[in-house]
Chain A
């Protein structure tokens, strides 16, 4: 699956870059100080990667050796840009995902244990309002409140996780064997860890990959508006500067992380079984 995503995603990226308007045109050709031979050499270097398959072949060969090409806008190797910027985004995304999961699980469990009209209404209202906020607005509010980037990512992720977790847990607690366990006076913690969590763990593990995808998606507006120099801000700047090779490599990177997280979740789930 990972290899298929790599190859297909790479081909799509290569097609987009190869057929984008302005491909193969280098503004250096307009430099009056260059001789005709130099201009011709620049043109020849572009012609070498002329066709889509040839371009894709060169891209794949380079990628095997860690060379993802150069950013047209920053005139720097893309791999070094990713190396510089990715750790910050990865840290923010992982912290954001962890915080969102922790808060969503705690509130969902509190909702199950202390059922009540006001609790239900207030949590539904909170998640409803948060889910209706675009990620960019959350970013602006986090700038107002001077909150770290990972908190903003957690705020974007929390309502989606909370609604899903609450429904899952409510459904699990309605199962006849859990009602029977409650009737027998088995403690809440034992019911939770021995009966409910094993039942909902496949759905929870499936959510992990989705959480990461949402977190990295939210990182674009949040990092752009919070001025955090991560991959999300880089993708936004690349889009504004029409730097397609850079943005396509970043898209491919995030896709691989999402697919990798999904596969890891599947492996963990299979081992648990």
Chain B
């Protein structure tokens, strides 16, 4: 199988999972918080495709809703991080001088800070007993606000290359204004780089959210996300008796691998 076919397959898999997550309300047989108290820890059946958890909630419904939370909000956080990196990195690369030095120093400092420690610190500032929806917003906003430094370096380097290119020199020589250069020449050439950075950030944020939620500092129950669904793995006896509890993990691995396999195509375009 050649690389192009593999990428097409990965794109189709991602699209299917994304669409299922998007229409979770229609696809899911039950609401994610509905309890079947007479059937806790039920085995897979025609009524509960993946069985139920210890509280009697349908695992298939929770998986679909969890997919919506993780797969729709990770790209949003990635978009925020890429936007920040694009604006700051583009500005630093294009303007140069002391602005460039200050922005790069800030990026270097941010890269020296361990992401998970900083996320824990910032999450600790917020109250722990916030509503589930607020916990989702807080988690992914923090990811977006802290995920920009590595992308910034790439955008800055690309902008610097473009600034010294012949076509921008020509544009300047013909009297093009700064805003026209940015909008008509710089941004279209930076687009593939920004897109690649956006694409790289998504699986990173999905995995970070999973770790935070597993530690009880991410998305709060009863709202499901892949992270808090994976908390079910802590109960070894339940997992060994009911191996289908590993489904969220299998889905997470599949999605991250698909993102990684599609990635080279983006890098080539970048």
**Is there contact, CB below 8 Å, between A132 and B114?**
no
Query: Does B215 contact A217, Cβ atoms closer than 8 Å?
Result: no
A152 interface residue, CB < 8 Å from B? no
B121 close to A137 (CB less than 8 A): no
Please state if A254 and B214 are interface contacts (CB–CB under 8 Å): no
A248 at the interface (CB under 8 A from B): yes
* Min CB–CB distance A243 → chain B (angstroms): 7
Contact of A149 with B by CB under 8 A: no
**Interface 0/1 of B133-174, CB less than 8 Å to A:** 000000000000000000000000000000000000000000
Say whether A140 contacts B112, CB under 8 Å.
no
Question: Across the two chains, which residue of chain B brings its CB closest to A141?
Answer: B233
Tell me if A224 counts as interface (CB < 8 A to partner B).
Answer: yes
Q: Is B230 an interface residue (CB 8 A)?
A: yes
Contact A239 B123 (CB under 8 A): yes
* Contact across chains for B128 and A140 when beta carbons are under 8 A apart: no
B207–A132 CB distance below 8 A: yes
Is A251 a contact of B113 with CB atoms below 8 Å?
yes
Residue in chain A with minimal CB distance to B227: A134
Q: How far is the CA of A262 from the CA of B112 in the complex (A)?
A: 9
Taking a contact as CB atoms under 8 Å apart, the answer to whether B109 and A21 are in contact is no
Interface residues on B, range: 35 or more
Please choose the segment from B55-63, B87-95, B249-257 that sits at the chain A interface, where 4 or more of its residues have CB less than 8 A away.
B249-257
Q: How many angstroms from the CA of A137 to the CA of B253 in the assembled complex?
A: 11
CB-CB < 8 A to B208: which residues of A?
134
Kindly state whether residue B125 has any CB partner on chain A within 8 Å: yes
Q: Is the CB–CB distance between A21 and B112 below 8 Å?
A: no
B216 at the interface (CB under 8 A from A): yes
Decide if A230 is an interface residue (CB 8 Å cutoff): no
What total of A-B pairs shows CB separation below 8 Å?
A: 117
- State the majority secondary structure of interface residues on A: helix
A255 and B113 in contact, given A134-B207, A239-B124 (Cβ under 8 angstroms): yes
Q: Are B120 and A247 in contact (CB under 8 A)?
A: yes
Query: Among A129, A239, A259, which residue has its beta carbon within 8 angstroms of that of B112?
Result: A259
Q: Does A244 contact B (CB under 8 A)?
A: yes
Q: Does A191 contact B (CB under 8 A)?
A: no
Q: What is the CB-to-nearest-CB distance from B130 to chain A, in angstroms, rounded to a whole number?
A: 12
- On whether the beta carbons of B114 and A251 are closer than 8 Å, the reply is yes
**CB-CB < 8 A to B236: which residues of A?**
143-144
In the complex, how many angstroms separate the beta carbon of A18 from the nearest chain B beta carbon?
11
Q: Which residues of A contact B217 (CB under 8 A)?
A: 236, 239-240
- A220 is an interface residue with CB less than 8 A from chain B: yes
B120 touches A236 (CB 8 A): yes
Shortest beta-carbon distance from B229 to chain A in Å? 11
The answer to whether B230 touches A136, judged by C-beta atoms less than 8 angstroms apart, is yes
Contact B117 A217 (CB under 8 A): yes
B211 near A221: Cβ-Cβ < 8 Å: yes
* Beta-carbon contact of A236 and B215 below 8 Å: yes
- B260 CB within 8 Å of chain A: yes
B230 touches A254 (CB 8 A): no
User: B122 — which chain A residues lie within 8 A by C-beta?
Assistant: 16
Asked whether A239 lies within 8 Å of B260 as measured between CB atoms, the reply is: no
Q: What residues of chain A lie closer than 8 Å to B117, measured between beta carbons?
A: 216-217, 220, 235, 247, 250-251, 254-255
Tell whether, in the assembled complex, residue A255 and residue B124 are in contact, meaning their CB atoms are under 8 Å apart: no
- The answer to whether A217 touches B112, judged by C-beta atoms less than 8 angstroms apart, is no
Closest to A135 in B: B211
Chain B residues, CB < 8 A from A144: 236
Q: Judging by beta carbons under 8 Å apart, are A217 and B115 in contact?
A: yes
Contact with B along A48-91 (1 / 0, CB 8 A): 00000000000000000000000000000000000000000000
- Closest A residue to B235 by CB, please name it: A140
* A128 on the B face (CB < 8 A): yes
Q: Across the interface, do B121 and A140 meet the contact criterion of CB distance under 8 Å?
A: no
Known: A21-B125, A132-B252, A137-B233. A220 touches B120 (CB 8 A): yes
> Which of B113, B120, B234, B256 touches A132 (beta carbons < 8 Å)?
B256
Tell me which residues across on chain B come within 8 A of A224, comparing CB atoms.
215
Take A136-B210, A238-B124 as given contacts and tell me if A128 and B260 are in contact as well, using a CB distance cutoff of 8 Å: yes
- Could you show 6 A-B contacts with beta carbons less than 8 Å apart? A9-B109, A134-B210, A136-B210, A143-B236, A239-B215, A251-B118
In the complex, besides A8-B109, A225-B234, 10 extra interface pairs with C-beta distance below 8 angstroms are A21-B127, A133-B253, A137-B233, A221-B215, A239-B124, A244-B121, A251-B113, A254-B114, A255-B117, A262-B112
Task: Identify the B interface with A (CB < 8 A).
Answer: 105, 109, 112-118, 120-125, 127-128, 203, 207-208, 210-211, 214-217, 227, 230, 233-234, 236, 249, 252-253, 256-257, 260
- Which residues of A line the B interface, CB within 8 A? 4-5, 8-9, 16, 20-21, 128-129, 131-137, 140, 143-144, 213, 216-217, 220-221, 224-225, 235-236, 238-240, 242-244, 247-248, 250-251, 254-255, 258-259, 262
Going nearest first, the 9 A-B pairs with the smallest beta carbon separation are: A132-B256, A136-B214, A239-B120, A134-B210, A251-B117, A132-B253, A239-B124, A217-B116, A134-B211
